[in-house]
Amino acid sequence: MIANRKIICFLAVLILISLNSGCTLKNTRMLPVNKPNNIEWPDSQLKDRFEEYWGYRSSGDVTNVLKLEAPYVKVMVDPEKYAGFISAGKNKVWNAVRIENIEWKNQNLIFIGFTAEVKDEAASIRTREVYFKDRWVLMNEKWYHAFDDPFINPDK
């Protein structure tokens, strides 16, 4: 009888943990990224980090987004403004991302132009397309997002 209670409690804890994990995964889901055949990713690490960054960013996950920012960005931006900016995206649903172009500026700097299909649930029910031009830098053999916004980081 006591063994059965322990098993039931153990199973209940496992179910709660798996449900909680499912919610976490749902909030940081990978966005579908579509790319025309004539555009090539420079390497798979940049592709993976791009998808990871925008998955976290679209869910408003400030902690994980900041981990993917270039180290110098973490020093230059005001943490409270940055967190407010990233968290503001929580009321938007990102359905998909379409890569428009990938442009090498030099061996350590790439611009990625993409269109995001975004639905703002707070303001309306319609879906709109928003164009972004993202900067990515290669530092110590890792790609990092190079956040650049004049309102968050006005000291240029």
Q: What was the pLDDT predicted at 156?
A: 45
Beta pairing, strands 92-106 & 33-34: parallel
Per-residue pLDDT in tens (0 to 9) along the chain, 156 residues: 554 454 443 333 334 333 333 333 334 455 667 666 678 888 999 999 999 999 898 888 889 999 999 998 888 888 888 888 888 766 678 888 899 999 999 999 999 999 988 887 666 667 788 899 999 999 999 999 998 755 544 454
Residue matched to tokens 């929580």:
90
Q: What was the pLDDT predicted at 147?
A: 85
Domain ranges across the chain:
1-28, 31-145
Q: Specify whether the CB–CB gap between 79 and 52 falls below 8 A.
A: no
Q: What was the pLDDT predicted at 95?
A: 83
Q: What was the pLDDT predicted at 150?
A: 53
Q: What was the pLDDT predicted at 46?
A: 95
Euclidean distance between CA atoms 152 and 105, whole angstroms: 24
Alpha helices in the chain (DSSP H): 2-27, 44-59, 62-67, 71-76, 79-87
Euclidean distance between CA atoms 132 and 100, whole angstroms: 10
pTM for the whole thing?
Answer: 0.71
CATH class of 31-145: alpha beta
